[in-house]
Structure 1
Amino acid sequence: MTSPRFLPALIVVDVQRAFDEWEAAGKRRNNPDAVARIADLLTAFRQNGAPIFHIRHEGTKPTSSFRPGGSGYAVKDEAREAPGEPVVVKHVNSAFIGTDLESRLRAAGIATIVICGATTNHCVETTTRMAGNLGFDTRLVRDATWTFDRVGPDGEKYSAEEIHAMTLSNLNGEFARIVTTDDVIAAFAAR
């Protein structure tokens, strides 16, 4: 994961309070320890002096849970950026569309990125697919992302666990390598 010259960058996608509000309203999610694992990743990257990019979703629809100034737009405390860590604001699912994320990564000589955040099958998946297509060596941290139960177009209910697992299966090998938080931390220790 690391080389003597370059460190991987951590991309933290949409760890915002809107998701807490969704849960409080009755939406069920998987992976309840995901935010704690994100905090572990942030600690490891900071301790190793590796770059971190925080992604925020800024909703544009009046009913969006992610509208600027709304309670859901704020970042969760566990994932708050430290001084000097850039925050990239996006308006669509991918952190690469309409932002300067790719140019920042390329300018810094970053070839490997590690992605975590929410939700697995929306912004995390879209960002991961684009990262792979753009040629980045992409790692998606399975225990540091989560999603919610959904109902399909045929009315069938799918659990967050099923959606999470299928999304990881779809991405694995073609767009990213699926890893755990422990895998990422162990790679730092092995440097």
Structure 2
Amino acid sequence: MDFDDTAALLVIDVQQGFDDPYWGDRDNPDAEANIARLVQAWADAARPIVLVRHDSREPGSPLRPGSPGNALKPVVADAPHDLFVTKHVNSAFYGEPDLKAWLDERGIRQLVVCGIQTNQCVETTARMGGNLGYDVVLPIDATHTFDMAGPGGLRLTAVELARATAVNLDGGGFARVVATDDVLAG
């Protein structure tokens, strides 16, 4: 992988509330360790880091502002960062402050996206980044998600959802889906 000095790391919703049993079974127990490795590499290289937090508006959500679960997990809570975005929808591009404007003002064209949930806010942010013309890379092992129910009793495991995200993003041309080691080797 070849990254320029302005390649930004977007760390999506790495919040304590995702440790709540409310979410159910998760995949990838190594996600936080891989996120920490990416944050450290980006900090060491003095590349831009963007932290994103989901401020849920749903009553009872572990991610609602004012609840302990809204806080960032220790793995990123004290991470150096250049921008802090808050949002209440899936895409970091619909947060405050304006992520796209911030990236464009700095001439940033490459994004590495990691965080929680693989098939929700991470995938949505990566898709939008690809649609907006950014070169998006998603280290899938620096994300995790949870089992999810759909229509008609359909249920997919977290592993199945992560695989679907990989296919959607890479197969759909939105992002290159790789491993954390691939990114760090660049």
- TM-score, normalisation: structure 2: 0.93
**Secondary structure, counterpart of 1:10 in structure 2:** strand
1:81 shift after superposition? 4.1
Task: Establish whether residue 118 from structure 1 lines up as the match of residue 116 from structure 2.
Answer: yes
Alpha carbons of structure 1 residues 164 and 86: separation in structure 2 relative to 1, 3 Å: same
After the TM superposition, which segments of 4 or more aligned residues of structure 1 sit over 6 Å from their partners? none
Structure 2, unmatched stretches of 5+, are none
Task: Establish whether residue 88 from structure 1 lines up as the match of residue 89 from structure 2.
Answer: no
- Kindly indicate whether the alpha-carbon contact (under 8 Å) linking 2:85 and 2:95 is maintained by their aligned counterparts in 1: no
Alpha carbons of structure 1 residues 137 and 82: separation in structure 2 relative to 1, 3 Å: same
**Secondary structure, counterpart of 1:64 in structure 2:** coil
- Whichever structure has more helix as a proportion of its residues is 2
Structure 1, unmatched stretches of 5+, are none
Match of residue 3 from structure 2: 2
- Kindly indicate whether the alpha-carbon contact (under 8 Å) linking 2:43 and 2:80 is maintained by their aligned counterparts in 1: no
1:79 shift after superposition? 1.5
1:43 to 33, 37, 40: 40
- Kindly indicate whether the alpha-carbon contact (under 8 Å) linking 2:53 and 2:87 is maintained by their aligned counterparts in 1: yes
Q: Deviations over 1:40-72 (max 9, x none)?
A: 000000010110000000011222221111011
Identity %: 48
Alpha carbons of structure 1 residues 61 and 157: separation in structure 2 relative to 1, 3 Å: closer
CA RMSD of aligned residues (A): 1.4
* Aligned pairs (5 A) from 1:21-40: 21-22=20-21, 25=22, 27-40=24-37
Q: Deviations over 1:136-185 (max 9, x none)?
A: 00001110001101122121321110011011101104100001111111
> Quick one: which amino acid aligns to residue 185 of structure 2?
A
1:77 to 74, 82, 89: 74
Task: Establish whether residue 155 from structure 1 lines up as the match of residue 153 from structure 2.
Answer: yes
1:26 shift after superposition? 7.0
- TM-score, normalisation: structure 1: 0.91
- Kindly indicate whether the alpha-carbon contact (under 8 Å) linking 2:50 and 2:81 is maintained by their aligned counterparts in 1: no
**Secondary structure, counterpart of 2:161 in structure 1:** helix
Task: Name the CA distance, whole Å, in 2 between partners of 1:88 and 1:164.
Answer: 24
